[in-house]
Amino acid sequence: MGKQFTALLPVHEEFIAKQRIFFVGSAPLSSEGHVNLSPKGYDSMRILSPNRAAYLDMTGSGNETSAHIRENGRVTIMFCAFEGPPNILRLYGTGTVVLPGSPEWETLYPLFEPLPGARQIIMIDFDKVQTSCGYSIPFMEYAGERETLQRWSVQQGEEGLKQYWQNKNTHSIDGLPTPLGEAIADRG
């Protein structure tokens, strides 16, 4: 059933391009800390090479992935087919957080459709690609994107978003600092 690869094949890239949602898994080093699993939507994933991908990370109520990446780098991305043939694809690797204003941001951000509330880009260098059957994943029909986050972000405005990030996105739920939080502290 499952197969492992050292890099993405064209068939994997085609599968990823069709998915409307993916999931990001990360965890702190401490066994006392909380494992995080975050769903990601919009057209926010980009394949940069057979061993590198990036996604535009939107403002959220937490910033767990960013804190975990800062602490230990480990991250897993999972795609699963809700339409068409069954398939699950995982990317195992390490991540880097790219913040607005950095040279990397200036290079990567133009690859994405601008979205209100974008707070960072997560870049993943992966050394293992794994596929599995996905036979138990239900069929689900795509009905459209939710506009709620974008409307909320526009209502907040740039200063409101920065304040929200300062209040909610500077540390993980386990108290680990985030790169965004460090950047806010440096500016403060």
What are 76-103's pLDDT values in tens digits?
Answer: 999 999 999 999 999 999 999 999 999 9
Model pLDDT for residues 16-60, shown as the tens digit of each residue: 999 999 999 999 999 999 999 999 999 999 999 999 999 999 999
- Contact at 8 Å (CB) between 63 and 78? no
**Burial of 24 (C-beta count, 10 Å sphere; 0-12/13-18/19+):** buried
Count of domains forming the chain? 1
Burial of 161 (0-12, 13-18, 19+ CB in 10 A): buried
Q: How confident is the model at residue 129 (pLDDT cuts 50, 70, 90)?
A: very high
CA dihedral for 99, 101, 107, 109, sign (positive or negative): positive
Residue type, 168: K
Look up the domain containing 90 and give its range.
3-187
The percent of residues above 90 in pLDDT, for the chain, comes to 96
Q: What is the CATH number of the domain that holds 88?
A: 2.30.110.10
Q: pTM value? A: 0.95
User: What confidence category does residue 1 fall into, taking pLDDT thresholds of 50, 70 and 90?
Assistant: low
> By the 8 A CB rule, do 164 and 119 touch?
no
Average pLDDT, the chain: 96
